[in-house]
Amino acid sequence: MGVSQSSAGAIKVDTIIKNSEVRAVRSEVAFQAFKERVFDGIFDVNARGTVLDINTAMAQFLSHDPDFLRGRVLWEQLKCSRGVPDESFLPPGQVRCTLVMTGMMKTGGSVELLVDLFIKRAGGRFDGFRGCARPAERALAFEKIKESAAVELFRALRGRLKSGLEEIESIAGSGKPPAEVSAGLARSANGLQCALASCFDPEVPLKWTPKLRLREVDPRKLLDYLRLKYSFYVQTRAKRLKIECAGEVTRFSGDFDYLEELLTQLAGNALKYTSAGGEVEISYCETAERRSFIVSDNGLGMSQAEVSRIFTPFFRADNEVNSGVGGLGLGLWTAQKIAQAHHGSIFAEAELGKGSTFTFFMPKLSQDALIKWID
């Protein structure tokens, strides 16, 4: 028996609804993951755009206090060229969209933000959005890093494959006895496998240097940022986080945003690779010659071979955490580039099964002495 057009339409609608529900569950997981990203502001608004909840980072983008924004219409502070965000912003069945919005700052200026909007529904009706935002300039810069990395990797893989296949074709058409051909193909296949693996090992010529926007940086504010960012994370995962300054603390010239990114990379890794009940310690100290941020944990640790390669592009340690989590292996490479742009460096120490310590240090020297120190 055939299905009538109206029945077919109903089936299609039911399918769309079911698919939408599945996507909603997935978006919930994705939304929770967004809360742990580096520069994200998080907000929750109802169908009229009234702020139900907003985190400190989002409020700071707009130069306001979170309590001031709660209960106000967010779209008066966050503008979009397409108009006021509503249900029509998303195609039917879609639960998330990404767009560039302009944050109107209390100081009179503005900031371009890359915003992910997650639609909310209640009783089948549109109920507002939850959102995740970060400065568009920084987000697009990091996308360029990943794009550059992907292009370089593709070129390397293509070169390895081409030479390997040419060698296999040469052996297959050599006219030698089958046993010799088989042995030659086996050697060539093994060589090709090793060559492909090596694409992820040597220094890939990625060309990226952070363009710093220098201003006065207070080390204590960097530590306060980490304390605020990870306080909820450690509470919900039964981990301990200790943050402290030791001795004298002086301000210095640097790019606060990039330093936040560097320290978040180190702290985030330490917490990720530390099991429940474990501890991560972040400290800052100064001497007459240098400033140091030290991030240590008692987590999984690494072998010495892994430590020697940890700042190599695309390298990821072989452990139980990485086996279930995707990634390009560019986080620590990026952090090291930021450290070097500040005339510093990151040094790693680790012992398998006992934990790791990463030390980011910068010299406290005059410009003339700095040149000599770098040489």
User: Is 0.85 topped by the overall pTM?
Assistant: no
What pLDDT is attached to residue 192?
A: 58
Task: Please report the pLDDT score of residue 59 as a whole number.
Answer: 87
What top-level class would CATH report for the domain 5-136? alpha beta
Q: Is 175 exposed, middle or buried (0-12, 13-18, 19+ CB in 10 A)?
A: exposed
Q: Report the 3 state secondary structure along 287-355.
A: CCCEEEEEEEECCCCCCHHHHCCCCCCCCCCCCCCHHHCCCCCCHHHHHHHHHHHCCCEEEEEEECCCE
Q: Could you give the residue range(s) of every CATH 3.30.450.20 domain in the chain?
A: 5-136
What's the CA gap between 92 and 78, in Å, rounded?
A: 24
What does the pLDDT profile of the chain (375 residues) look like in tens digits?
A: 444 444 444 555 555 555 555 555 455 444 444 444 444 788 999 999 999 999 888 888 888 888 999 999 999 999 998 889 988 888 777 888 888 899 888 878 888 888 889 999 888 889 999 988 887 766 665 555 555 556 656 666 666 666 666 767 777 777 777 777 776 666 566 555 555 554 554 444 455 678 888 899 999 999 998 998 888 888 888 889 999 988 889 999 999 888 988 999 999 999 988 888 899 999 999 988 899 999 999 988 888 888 888 888 777 776 555 445 545 677 888 899 899 999 999 999 998 889 999 999 999 865 444 444 443
What residues form DSSP beta bridges with 129?
A: 45, 119
Three-class DSSP category at 366: coil
Cα distances (Å, whole numbers) of residue 89 to 23, 25, 49, 93, 114: 17, 20, 14, 12, 15
Distance between CA atoms of residues 99 and 133, nearest Å: 10
How far is it, in rounded angstroms, from Cα 35 to Cα 53?
A: 13
Q: Considering the chain, tell me which residue range(s) the CATH 3.30.565.10 domain(s) occupy.
A: 215-374
Topology given in CATH for the domain delimited by 215-374: Heat Shock Protein 90 (3.30.565)
Residue 242, pLDDT score: 93
At residue 368, the pLDDT reads 41
Residues 311, 180: contact at Cβ < 8 Å? no
Q: What sign has the CA pseudo-torsion 129, 132, 133, 138?
A: negative
